[in-house]
Amino acid sequence: MLRVFYDGQCPLCRREIAAMRRLDKRGAIAFVDIADPQASCPIDRKAALARFHAEEDGQMLSGAAAFAAMWRAIPLLRPLGLAARNRVVLNLLERLYLRFLRVRPRLQRMVAR
């Protein structure tokens, strides 16, 4: 089973995870809210809160690679996740993710309103 680690205190993250939960009709993903102090987190919490993380087949993934793993677990998004196995595609997605991280605080404030 894929484990996805997300920031449950982030309104943007909560919306994204709610959408993924609706799409995960097979229950293939275990969603772990790392903002919960009781949650088991295999990496440093501060690092986990700074970037999106997932654990696939015992391997910890971060950023675009973590999103791609989540997409592969959801049939509707699987083609995008499989495309991200290509290094060129994954590198492009990672660059886009890094740009997103720069505007994330503003987006969080907008969503929280």
The predicted pLDDT at position 4 comes to 97
- For the chain of 113 residues, list the mean pLDDT of each consecutive stretch of 10: 93 93 97 91 87 95 97 97 98 96 87 76
Q: Which residue has the tokens 């886009």?
A: 96
- What is the model's pLDDT at position 112? 77
pLDDT at 45: 85
| Amino acid in position 29 | I
The pTM of this model reads 0.91
Round to whole Å and give the CA distance between 83 and 37: 35
**CA atoms of 65 and 84, how far apart (whole Å):** 8
Stretch (H or E) spanning 30: strand 29-33
